[in-house]
Chains A and B, each alone.
Chain A
Amino acid sequence: MGLSTQQPRTQAAQLFRGYTAYTLGFIALVALLAALEVLGLARQWIGYAFLLSTVALYAGIGIMCRTSDPVEYYVAGRRVPALYNGMATAADWMSVASFIGIAGTLYLTGYNGLAYILGWTGGYVLVALFLAPYLRKFGGYTIPDFLGARYEGNLTRLIGVLCAVLCSFIYLVAQIYGVGIITTRMTGISFELGIFIGLGGVLVCSFLGGMRAVTWTQVGQYIILVIAYLVPVVWLAVKQTGEPIPQVAASAVLQQVTERERELTHDEAERQVRALWQKRAELMQARVDSLPLSFEEEKQQLHWRLLRARANDAPMAEIRALEREHANYPQSIEAARTAWTKARDDFGSRASPPVPHADPFAGKNRDSPEAARNNFLAIVLCLMLGTAGLPHILMRSLTTPSVSEARKSVFWSLLFILLLYMTAPALAILIKYEIYSDLVGIPFAELPAWVNAWSAVDRSLISIVDLNRDGIVQLAEVQLGADVVVLAAPEIGGLPYVISGLVAAGALAAALSTADGLLLTLSNALSHDTLFRVVSPRMGAGRQVILSKMLLLVVAFAAAWAATRTPADILFLVGAAFSFAAACFFPVLVMGVFWKRANKYGAAAGMLSGLIVTIYYMVQAQPWLRELVLGIPIGVPVELWWHIQPIAAGVFGAPVAFVVIVLVSWATPAPLAVTQQMVDYLRQPD
Chain B
Amino acid sequence: MTPNAIPKACDRAASYWRRNLIFILCLLLVWLLVSFVPAYFARELNGIYLFGWPFPFWMAAFGAQFCFLLIIGLYAWGMDRMDRRERRDRDQES
**Chain A residues packing against B (C-beta within 8 Å):** 111, 114-115, 117-118, 121-122, 124-125, 128-130, 133, 247, 251-252, 254-255, 358-361, 369, 373, 376-377, 380-381, 384, 403-404, 407-408, 410-411, 414-415, 418, 421-422, 425, 680, 683-686
Would you give the shortest CB distance from B6 to chain A, in whole angstroms?
13
User: Given A128-B75, A373-B42, are A117 and B52 also a contact pair (CB < 8 Å)?
Assistant: no
Contact residues in A for B80 (Cβ distance below 8 Å): 404, 407
Residues 31-44 of chain B, each 1 if its beta carbon lies under 8 Å from chain A, else 0: 10001100110110
User: Quick one: which of B1-45 are within 8 Å of A by CB?
Assistant: 13, 16-17, 20, 24, 27-28, 31, 35-36, 39-40, 42-43
Q: Please state if B57 and A358 are interface contacts (CB–CB under 8 Å).
A: yes
Contact residues in A for B86 (Cβ distance below 8 Å): 685
Give Cα A415–Cα B72 distance, bound, in whole angstroms.
Answer: 10
Q: Please state if A129 and B75 are interface contacts (CB–CB under 8 Å).
A: yes
User: Given A380-B39, A422-B62, A685-B87, are A359 and B68 also a contact pair (CB < 8 Å)?
Assistant: no
Which of A251, A414, A685 sits near B52, CB closer than 8 Å? Answer: A251
Contact residues in B for A683 (Cβ distance below 8 Å): 13, 16-17, 20
Q: Please state if B69 and A411 are interface contacts (CB–CB under 8 Å).
A: yes
Give Cα A407–Cα B24 distance, bound, in whole angstroms.
Answer: 13
Give Cα A422–Cα B63 distance, bound, in whole angstroms.
Answer: 10
Give Cα A415–Cα B76 distance, bound, in whole angstroms.
Answer: 14
User: Given A117-B60, A407-B76, are A125 and B54 also a contact pair (CB < 8 Å)?
Assistant: no
For B42, the closest partner residue in chain A by CB is: A360
Q: Which of A255, A360, A410 has the most CB of B within 10 A?
A: A360
A selection of 8 A-B contacts at a CB cut-off of 8 Å is A118-B65, A129-B28, A358-B53, A360-B42, A373-B42, A414-B69, A680-B13, A684-B16
For A404, the closest partner residue in chain B by CB is: B80
Contact residues in A for B62 (Cβ distance below 8 Å): 247, 422, 425
For B60, the closest partner residue in chain A by CB is: A114
Give Cα A121–Cα B43 distance, bound, in whole angstroms.
Answer: 22
Would you give the shortest CB distance from A686 to chain B, in whole angstroms?
7
User: Given A373-B40, A373-B42, are A125 and B76 also a contact pair (CB < 8 Å)?
Assistant: no
Q: Please state if B13 and A122 are interface contacts (CB–CB under 8 Å).
A: no
Contact residues in A for B82 (Cβ distance below 8 Å): 685
Q: Please state if B83 and A377 are interface contacts (CB–CB under 8 Å).
A: no
Contact residues in A for B28 (Cβ distance below 8 Å): 125, 129
Contact residues in A for B57 (Cβ distance below 8 Å): 111, 114, 358, 360
Q: Please state if B39 and A125 are interface contacts (CB–CB under 8 Å).
A: no
Which of A360, A404, A415, A686 sits near B56, CB closer than 8 Å? Answer: A360
Contact residues in A for B35 (Cβ distance below 8 Å): 118, 122, 380, 384
Contact residues in B for A415 (Cβ distance below 8 Å): 69
Residues 60-94 of chain B, each 1 if its beta carbon lies under 8 Å from chain A, else 0: 11101100110111011001101100110000000
Q: Please state if B61 and A425 are interface contacts (CB–CB under 8 Å).
A: yes
For A421, the closest partner residue in chain B by CB is: B65
Give Cα A502–Cα B62 distance, bound, in whole angstroms.
Answer: 26
Q: Please state if A414 and B43 are interface contacts (CB–CB under 8 Å).
A: no
Contact residues in B for A377 (Cβ distance below 8 Å): 36, 39-40
Which of B16, B71, B73, B75 sits near A685, CB closer than 8 Å? Answer: B16
For B9, the closest partner residue in chain A by CB is: A684
Q: Please state if B76 and A408 are interface contacts (CB–CB under 8 Å).
A: yes
Would you give the shortest CB distance from B84 to chain A, in whole angstroms?
8
Contact residues in B for A408 (Cβ distance below 8 Å): 76
For A114, the closest partner residue in chain B by CB is: B60
Would you give the shortest CB distance from A32 to chain B, in whole angstroms?
36
Would you give the shortest CB distance from A111 to chain B, in whole angstroms?
6
Q: Please state if B76 and A111 are interface contacts (CB–CB under 8 Å).
A: no
Would you give the shortest CB distance from B88 to chain A, in whole angstroms?
11
Q: Please state if B76 and A410 are interface contacts (CB–CB under 8 Å).
A: yes
Nearest 6 A-B pairs (CB), nearest first?
A360-B42, A685-B83, A251-B52, A407-B76, A114-B60, A425-B61
Contact residues in B for A247 (Cβ distance below 8 Å): 62
For B78, the closest partner residue in chain A by CB is: A407
User: Given A125-B68, A407-B76, are A111 and B42 also a contact pair (CB < 8 Å)?
Assistant: yes
Contact residues in A for B71 (Cβ distance below 8 Å): 125, 128-129
Give Cα A381–Cα B40 distance, bound, in whole angstroms.
Answer: 12
User: Given A380-B39, A418-B69, are A128 and B56 also a contact pair (CB < 8 Å)?
Assistant: no
Give Cα A407–Cα B20 distance, bound, in whole angstroms.
Answer: 14
Give Cα A324–Cα B65 distance, bound, in whole angstroms.
Answer: 47
Contact residues in B for A125 (Cβ distance below 8 Å): 27-28, 31, 68, 71-72
Contact residues in A for B40 (Cβ distance below 8 Å): 373, 377
Which of A252, A359, A384 sits near B46, CB closer than 8 Å? Answer: A359
Q: Please state if A404 and B39 are interface contacts (CB–CB under 8 Å).
A: no
Give Cα A360–Cα B73 distance, bound, in whole angstroms.
Answer: 30
Contact residues in B for A422 (Cβ distance below 8 Å): 61-62, 65
Give Cα A179–Cα B82 distance, bound, in whole angstroms.
Answer: 45
Which of A111, A251, A410 sits near B72, CB closer than 8 Å? Answer: A410
Contact residues in B for A129 (Cβ distance below 8 Å): 24, 27-28, 71, 75
